[in-house]
Protein backbone atom coordinates (compact mmCIF):
# COMPACT_ATOMS: atom_id res chain seq x y z
CA UNK A 1 0.00 0.00 0.00
CA UNK A 2 2.82 2.42 0.81
CA UNK A 3 4.48 1.72 -2.54
CA UNK A 4 1.33 2.51 -4.50
CA UNK A 5 -0.34 5.19 -2.40
CA UNK A 6 2.75 7.13 -1.26
CA UNK A 7 5.97 6.26 -3.11
CA UNK A 8 4.38 6.04 -6.57
CA UNK A 9 2.54 9.32 -5.98
CA UNK A 10 5.82 11.03 -5.02
CA UNK A 11 7.65 9.68 -8.07
CA UNK A 12 4.83 10.68 -10.44
CA UNK A 13 4.66 14.15 -8.89
CA UNK A 14 8.43 14.61 -9.17
CA UNK A 15 8.44 13.57 -12.82
CA UNK A 16 5.40 15.70 -13.65
CA UNK A 17 7.01 18.77 -12.10
CA UNK A 18 10.19 18.12 -14.13
CA UNK A 19 8.13 17.98 -17.33
CA UNK A 20 6.25 21.15 -16.37
CA UNK A 21 9.52 22.95 -15.72
CA UNK A 22 11.10 21.72 -18.97
CA UNK A 23 8.03 22.88 -20.92
CA UNK A 24 7.84 26.24 -19.17
CA UNK A 25 4.48 25.50 -17.55
CA UNK A 26 4.00 27.81 -14.56
CA UNK A 27 0.25 27.47 -14.07
CA UNK A 28 -0.38 23.72 -13.97
CA UNK A 29 -2.27 21.62 -11.49
CA UNK A 30 -1.13 18.49 -9.62
CA UNK A 31 -4.17 16.45 -8.53
CA UNK A 32 -3.70 13.58 -6.06
CA UNK A 33 -6.38 10.96 -5.45
CA UNK A 34 -6.89 10.65 -1.74
CA UNK A 35 -9.74 9.46 0.48
CA UNK A 36 -11.90 10.96 3.16
CA UNK A 37 -10.10 8.50 5.43
CA UNK A 38 -6.96 10.60 4.87
CA UNK A 39 -8.52 13.37 6.96
CA UNK A 40 -9.87 11.41 9.93
CA UNK A 41 -9.27 8.10 11.68
CA UNK A 42 -11.84 5.47 10.87
CA UNK A 43 -12.32 1.92 9.73
CA UNK A 44 -10.16 -1.03 10.59
CA UNK A 45 -7.32 -0.83 8.07
CA UNK A 46 -4.78 1.40 9.78
CA UNK A 47 -2.19 0.85 7.05
CA UNK A 48 -4.53 2.20 4.38
CA UNK A 49 -5.51 5.10 6.65
CA UNK A 50 -1.88 6.00 7.25
CA UNK A 51 -1.08 6.01 3.52
CA UNK A 52 -3.97 8.39 2.88
CA UNK A 53 -2.88 10.64 5.76
CA UNK A 54 0.51 10.74 4.01
CA UNK A 55 -1.19 11.81 0.76
CA UNK A 56 -2.89 14.65 2.67
CA UNK A 57 0.41 15.80 4.19
CA UNK A 58 2.38 15.48 0.95
CA UNK A 59 -0.23 17.40 -1.03
CA UNK A 60 -0.26 20.24 1.48
CA UNK A 61 3.53 20.28 1.73
CA UNK A 62 3.82 20.43 -2.06
CA UNK A 63 1.26 23.25 -2.18
CA UNK A 64 3.35 25.28 0.26
CA UNK A 65 6.63 24.52 -1.57
CA UNK A 66 5.15 25.58 -4.92
CA UNK A 67 3.75 28.78 -3.40
CA UNK A 68 7.09 29.62 -1.75
CA UNK A 69 8.88 29.01 -5.06
CA UNK A 70 6.66 31.65 -6.65
CA UNK A 71 4.99 29.33 -9.16
CA UNK A 72 1.31 29.31 -10.01
CA UNK A 73 1.20 25.51 -10.06
CA UNK A 74 -1.51 24.23 -7.76
CA UNK A 75 -1.60 21.07 -5.66
CA UNK A 76 -4.97 19.51 -4.81
CA UNK A 77 -6.13 16.33 -3.17
CA UNK A 78 -9.50 14.83 -4.14
CA UNK A 79 -10.94 12.86 -1.24
CA UNK A 80 -14.01 10.81 -2.15
CA UNK A 81 -16.02 9.07 0.54
CA UNK A 82 -16.40 5.36 1.18
CA UNK A 83 -16.96 3.17 -1.86
CA UNK A 84 -17.77 -0.48 -1.33
CA UNK A 85 -15.58 -2.66 -3.57
CA UNK A 86 -14.22 -6.21 -3.41
CA UNK A 87 -11.06 -4.70 -1.88
CA UNK A 88 -13.04 -3.88 1.28
CA UNK A 89 -13.49 -7.57 2.12
CA UNK A 90 -9.80 -8.52 1.81
Domain layout of the chain by residue ranges:
2-83
Q: Mind listing the pLDDT tens digit for each residue in 66-78?
A: 999 999 999 999 9
Contacts 24+ apart (CB under 8 A), 34-38: 34/59, 34/77, 34/78, 34/79, 35/79, 35/80, 36/79, 36/80, 36/81, 36/82, 37/82, 38/77, 38/79
> What pLDDT shows up at residue 38?
87
> What pLDDT shows up at residue 89?
65
Q: What is the pTM of this model?
A: 0.84
Q: Mind listing the pLDDT tens digit for each residue in 9-35?
A: 999 999 999 999 999 998 999 999 999
Tell me the CATH number for domain 2-83. Answer: 3.40.50.720
Q: What are the residue numbers of the active site?
A: 48
pLDDT more than 90, % of the chain: 72
Considering only residues 82 and 27, tell me which one the structure prediction assigns the higher pLDDT: 27
Amino acid sequence: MFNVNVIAMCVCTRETLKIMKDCGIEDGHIINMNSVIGHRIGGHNTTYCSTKFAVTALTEGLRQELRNAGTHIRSTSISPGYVETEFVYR
